[in-house]
């Protein structure tokens, strides 16, 4: 339902100059067709997901007077997505249209019957939410609450065994949500109820802080302008106000004194030392892993995992003309000076 409801809410896809654009569908501006995947157990059908398909408009008289032609190649390519959902298969197709099923819809329905003997046709009609009286969409529950019908109508094709004609019959549906969907909807509802998004608590807190800083800046500029005016002699001095300004400035920490410079240098050195120790620890760990791999590979080769190698120097740890065997302890001893 979410996949099928996206096309009416998003702008149509632009077609490049080198790509052929199919002719428009008459009286169906913005109609999008798609296939539905799901599971079926007896008369119980569960619609799981869907994907869009391309439908071509044919001139009258072509393909037994069919007006719609399904792009089989693209449909076959996109239908492979059901391999990622074990147990699902093609159940039918959908269209986003405000009109009731027409003759061309029956023709397209027959084309889907080659993939499923009894496919379903789901029609998304956004006007059902805007015009509830049109289809009696507004109903009252047992608690008196008003429930609006979803703009989603499902039809099944009824085949006449004598004439071979196909007719659509509306079937009742029931919307069931999974645990993940319920959690997501609850989160969205909670954010909407508590002012999520641009009006959330974090944005409100940051906005209040920004307003406070702006007000502080305005007042500091006003005090600075007053002090400059007193120094220039354009404004008479108010000694009580000047004493208050001096008291506020004396409470502020100084960033130019020796104590601040000493504390800043100490904190800066501690941060650099922590970073240096982290880099040294990581480098030491990688070096230790490299030594372990080298010792393991050399030991496996000397035990019999690799071909015999003849030593040409007796000082390598083995008898001349004999087999060379690496000593893990000697290797670790050589690398011990690195740590």
- Kindly report the CATH number assigned to the domain that includes residue 79: 3.40.140.10
Q: Which residues contact 161 (CB under 8 A, 6 or more apart)?
A: none
How many Cα atoms are found within 13 Å in the side-chain-facing hemisphere of 76? Answer: 4
Residues 276 and 133 in one domain: no
pLDDT for res 6: 65
Closest CA to 109 of 90, 126, 128, 125: 90
Per the structure, how many domains does the chain have?
3
**Residue range(s) defining the domain that contains residue 217:** 208-252
Between CA 171 and CA 173 the distance in angstroms is 7
Residue 131 · residue 73 · CB < 8 Å: no
**Is residue 39 a part of any domain in this protein?**
yes
Domain finish residue from 236, 252, 268? 252
Collect all residues with Cβ–Cβ distance below 8 Å to 22 and sequence separation of at least 6. 54, 55, 56, 57
Query: Both 239 and 175 in a single domain?
Result: no
Place of tokens 């439908």: 55
Identify whether residues 247 and 112 lie together within a single domain: no
Nearest to 45 by CA among 148, 118, 126: 118
Identify whether residues 76 and 45 lie together within a single domain: yes
Q: Could you tell me the two tokens for 62?
A: 């072509």
Instruction: With respect to residue 313, please indicate whether it lies within any of the assigned structural domains.
Output: no
Q: Same domain for 107 and 55?
A: yes
State whether 182 and 244 are in the same domain. Answer: no
Q: At what angle do helices 201-232 and 239-251 cross, to 10 degrees?
A: 130
Q: Is residue 57 part of a domain?
A: yes
In terms of phi and psi (left: phi > 0; alpha: psi -120 to 50; beta: otherwise), the region of 121 is beta
Distance in angstroms (rounded) separating the CA atoms of residues 33 and 108 = 10
Is position 202 within any domain?
A: no
Is position 310 within any domain? no
Contact by Cβ (8 Å): 335, 291: yes
Are 50 and 32 part of one and the same domain? Answer: yes
End-to-end alpha-carbon separation of the chain, Å?
A: 63
Are residues 232 and 182 part of one domain?
no
The per-residue pLDDT for 260 is 82
Please report, in tens digits, the pLDDT of each residue of the chain (339 residues total).
666 666 655 555 544 444 444 443 333 445 788 888 888 887 788 878 888 888 877 765 544 454 777 777 777 777 777 777 777 888 888 888 777 887 778 888 888 888 888 888 888 876 765 554 444 444 444 444 444 567 778 888 887 777 777 788 888 877 776 677 677 767 666 655 555 555 567 788 888 899 999 999 999 999 999 999 999 989 898 899 899 988 888 887 777 778 888 888 999 999 999 999 999 999 999 999 999 999 988 887 766 554 444 444 334 444 444 444 445 444 445 444 444
Whether residue 25 is found in the same domain as residue 118: yes
Residue 235 maps to a domain: yes
Domain end marker among 252, 269, 285: 252
Would 148 be classed as within a structural domain? yes
Residues 68 and 191 placed together within one structural domain of the fold: yes
Indicate whether 82 and 47 sit together in one domain. yes
The answer to whether position 309 is within a domain reads no
Q: Is 85 in the same domain as 9?
A: yes
Q: Which residue has tokens 């504390």?
A: 263
């Amino acid at each position: 339902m979410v996949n099928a409801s996206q096309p009416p809410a998003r702008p149509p896809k632009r077609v490049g100059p080198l790509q052929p654009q199919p002719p428009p569908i008459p009286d169906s501006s913005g109609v999008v067709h798609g296939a539905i995947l799901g599971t079926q157990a007896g008369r119980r059908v569960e619609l799981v997901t869907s994907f869009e398909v391309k439908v071509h408009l044919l001139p009258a008289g072509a393909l037994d007077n069919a007006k719609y032609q399904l792009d089989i190649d693209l449909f076959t390519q996109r239908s492979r997505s059901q391999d990622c959902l074990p147990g699902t298969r093609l159940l039918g197709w959908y269209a986003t249209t405000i009109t009731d099923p027409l003759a061309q819809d029956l023709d397209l329905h027959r084309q889907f019957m080659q993939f499923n003997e009894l496919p379903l046709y789901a029609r998304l009609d956004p006007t059902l939410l805007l015009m509830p009286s049109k289809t009696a969409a507004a109903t009252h529950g047992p608690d008196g609450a008003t429930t609006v019908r979803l703009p989603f109508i499902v039809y099944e094709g009824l085949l006449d065994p004598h004439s071979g004609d196909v007719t659509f019959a509306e079937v009742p549906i029931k919307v069931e949500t999974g645990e993940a969907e319920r959690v997501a909807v609850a989160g969205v509802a909670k954010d909407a109820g508590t002012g999520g998004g641009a009006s959330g608590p974090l944005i409100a807190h940051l906005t209040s802080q920004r307003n406070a800083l702006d007000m502080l800046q305005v007042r500091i500029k006003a005090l600075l302008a007053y002090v400059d005016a007193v120094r220039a002699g354009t404004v008479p001095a108010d000694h009580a106000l000047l004493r208050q300004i001096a008291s506020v400035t004396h409470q502020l920490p100084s960033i130019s004194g020796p104590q601040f410079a000493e504390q800043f240098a100490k904190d800066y050195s501690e941060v650099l030392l922590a970073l240096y120790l982290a880099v040294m620890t990581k480098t030491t760990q990688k070096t230790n892993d490299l030594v372990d791999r080298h010792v393991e590979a050399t030991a496996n080769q000397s035990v019999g995992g690799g071909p015999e190698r003849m030593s040409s120097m007796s000082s390598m740890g083995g008898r001349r003309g004999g087999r060379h065997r690496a000593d893990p302890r000697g290797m670790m001893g050589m690398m011990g000076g690195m740590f």
